Amino acid sequence: MARVNHKLVKQRLNEQRSKISDRQFFSSRLLAGHFEDLAAAQTRRYRYNRRVRVNLYWKPREKHVASTDNMFVRINTGNSLVTKVKGRENRYQIVCGLFAHELGHVLYTDFLAAQTHTNYLGSGRWYPYPPDLKTTADARNEKAFWNYVKTDPKNLEMVQMIAHHISNVIEDGYIENRMLNNFPGTLGYGLEKLREQHFEHIETVTQMIESEDEGKHIFESILQIMLSYAKFGEIKYGDEPLSDERIQAVFGLITDIDSALLSRSGKDRLNVVNMVLVRCWDYIESFCEECKKRQEEAVASGGSASLAETLSEVLGAIAGGSEMGEGSSTPVPEASGGSEESATAGKRAQTHADADSEDGAEETDSSQTDSETEENPSGSGGSDNSSDEDAAPIDGGSSGSGKQETSDTEQGRIPYHQSESLSEPVGGSVEKNEDYEREHYDSAAADIERLLDKMAEKAACEQLENERIQELNDVAQNISYGNIHEGVPIRINRIASVDEELMEQYDAISGPLLNISRQLQKSLLKQLKENRRGGKQTGLIMGRRLDAHALCRNDGKVFYKNNLPNEIPELAVGLLLDESGSMCSCDRCTYARASAIILYDFCQSLDIPVMVYGHSTDYTDVGNTVALYSYAEFDGFDHDDKYRMMDIAARGSNRDGAALRFVAEQLSKRPEAVKILILVSDGQPADSGYGGSAAEEDLRGIKQEYQRKGILFVAAAIGDDKQNIERIYGDSFLDISDLNQLPTKLTAVVKRHVRV
């Protein structure tokens, strides 16, 4: 097809509009080709090598407006959103805005991540990672969320649809911000016109509350407010005070929404979706039950709409919203990195100021008396004519009182320094201030509540960890370790609450180790992507298919084959570290600790479940006790396992058999197809009454038993007893002659099995 003459399109718009009906023009292939060429010209910077196809059609009675499947953009130009605009050129701008919006999804939306998010919810997991539960209310909501989802498949279906819709709300704000910044010409102008129309039809909060009296649910209002902020940076308050619970629900999320709108990572936006699900769970649960009730009433009245259709209809009524694009690709590669600037920065700044104000009701109260204004000229209720300098808080505070907002991120006082002298004031007196009145710092209670929430959250996590420790010890007591370990006590040790010292130590040394982890991930990520995608492999010396384009080669590499898409098998990893006293020699324990940190980060980044344990013995009143140290569990509560690994150290003796059986038993319970148990040791088993050939036979028996249960063993030998360790573990032996290679070789074991 020949390229469209854009001048002809302009001519049709201006000169012949009276001869062509709107239906003919807005559903013509000519206009569709115009948009296709426009997209090709504008997206060439991204080296986007797939032409975007456009399908324009005219169906006034259809509610659908526009959508994309990442290959076609479909726009219903007969929808009332277009036809109610006067003037064909104005209607063209609206259609152009719809196309710009859908093109934004094609270029910038991570469709694969969105699909993965839905699939993870279906399997009872968060994606890309669990939300940051900052308060006990968040933890309570998360627990209630999963309980509700697992109760009924209908509940799961509704939650998935709601999460999908919330994701679309945030994604709409993100892609429109990108389009306005990157395409300020025709596409940007059309999008601005569309946005103006969308914002005009959004109700005020007051109108939303009135609609709730007629059957609308409060969560629909919250979603509408959230969409208004995500797309336009502002909220239509109407006559409602800022203290209204709908407004406050969105105010509590605007910082997260802003970060999602400016991040180029689709995972960051999905993580905000998780946060919204948790923070707004009370409203969402009530909304789901209301939808169930509506659907049941509709069926009782003779209707045939399903629950999904009922929910879709309700969510589709959100003004300014759009249908979520569907596809199977990631965003286009960027020519340069960096984050975007907000196209609505000024409006967002004002909304942030509203959210941060100490008394929102006072700010929005238009009936404030003149006397109140005179008494507090620099406060939030001051005159509109006051200068920015007059309105600025003293010393960084939030009001003219001179008091500052407390912050959990403030670094503290001026550090200690050497001074030469002190000032020597003279005179001075003691006076009584008869005019002093209390300062109005109304956030004092909120500050205390925040600190109490932190304390409660820490206490809750510590309680959960203590319960886990008890459960682990109960499990350990119920395992049959064999006659050779009969009468030997087993004890599981785990740090319930990580202290700041461990965190500081981790932060001080983790940088280079995490860089190693990322380097090890790079090659694997590319391979995983290729395996999942499949493709054509050329330049082969032999094969069944000749590559016609390679027949001119002189090296005989003229064959090719097609690689089918291959799903990578699920994998779980267990790491067991020898913490016997001899590990203090030659920095063996230091390398083992570094390896654990690298392997843990590697697995976490690739969503591979990983467990890290150490083992030694303690001397007690009843003799030597097998001491197992839990550093990382498959399921965590406080996300502090990486810090716990700083406690890895050389300790006492090593009764390897008992430790090995416990960790192997835990790993065998995992549902993953591939289970790898990695042992790092510098010598043979050596404990009171446990050593020599009998101990070796015990280890060989444990290995064979759990190999039959599907566990793959890898024994990494780093000490002088490598020959003895090889004799014990046979083909599972891994010789680490150079300790510098320990992290790389252990990670390579995991990479090798991921590539299966």
Separation of alpha carbons 617 and 614, rounded Å: 11
* H-run or E-run covering 67: strand 66-68
pLDDT higher than 90, residue 76: yes
Q: Give the position of tokens 């196209």.
A: 343
According to CATH, where is 3.30.2010 located in the chain? 8-106
Give me the DSSP letters along 4-27: P-HHHHHHHHHTSTTTS-HHHHHT
According to CATH, where is 3.40.50.410 located in the chain? 464-502+568-754
Report the pLDDT value the prediction gives residue 692, as an integer from 0 to 100. Answer: 84
Residue 368 pLDDT grade (very low, low, confident, very high; cuts 50, 70, 90): very low
The string of pLDDT tens digits covering residues 579-627 is: 988 888 888 888 889 989 998 998 888 888 899 999 998 877 666 789 9
Exposed / middle / buried, residue 521 (Cβ in 10 Å: 0-12, 13-18, 19+): middle
Exposed / middle / buried, residue 167 (Cβ in 10 Å: 0-12, 13-18, 19+): buried
Report the pLDDT value the prediction gives residue 435, as an integer from 0 to 100. Answer: 64
Q: Give the position of tokens 């000024």.
A: 346
The string of pLDDT tens digits covering residues 565-584 is: 555 568 889 999 989 888 88
- Mark out the alpha helices in 433-579 (DSSP H runs): 444-477, 500-533
Q: Side chain identity at 348, as an amino acid letter?
A: R
* H-run or E-run covering 613: strand 610-620
Preceding omega of 130 cis (within 30 degrees of 0): no
Name all contacts of 586-589 with Cβ < 8 Å and 24+ positions apart: 586/739, 587/739, 588/650, 588/682, 588/718, 588/719, 588/739, 589/648, 589/649, 589/650
Mean of pLDDT values over 457-483: 84
Three-state secondary-structure class, residue 723: helix
- Comparing CA positions, the residue from 470, 496, 477, 472 lying closest to residue 625 is 477
pLDDT higher than 50, residue 379: no
Report the pLDDT value the prediction gives residue 402, as an integer from 0 to 100. Answer: 46
140-154, 192-206, 235-249, 392-406, range with the lowest pLDDT: 392-406
Give me the DSSP letters along 234-266: ----TT--TT-HHHHHHHTTHHHHHHHHH-S-H
pTM (predicted TM-score): 0.48
What contacts 639, CB < 8 A, 6 or more positions away? 130
Report the pLDDT value the prediction gives residue 453, as an integer from 0 to 100. Answer: 60
Three-state secondary-structure class, residue 491: strand
CATH 1.10.357 describes domain 8-106: no
What is the CATH code for 464-502+568-754?
3.40.50.410
Separation of alpha carbons 397 and 417, rounded Å: 27
Mean of pLDDT values over 734-739: 76
Report the pLDDT value the prediction gives residue 393, as an integer from 0 to 100. Answer: 39
- Across 27-31, 212-216, 232-236, 322-326, which has the greatest mean pLDDT? 232-236
Q: Quote the tokens at residue 61.
A: 């009675």
The string of pLDDT tens digits covering residues 403-424 is: 455 555 554 555 555 666 655 5
153-182 helix and 266-279 helix, angle to the nearest 10 degrees = 130
pLDDT higher than 70, residue 700: yes
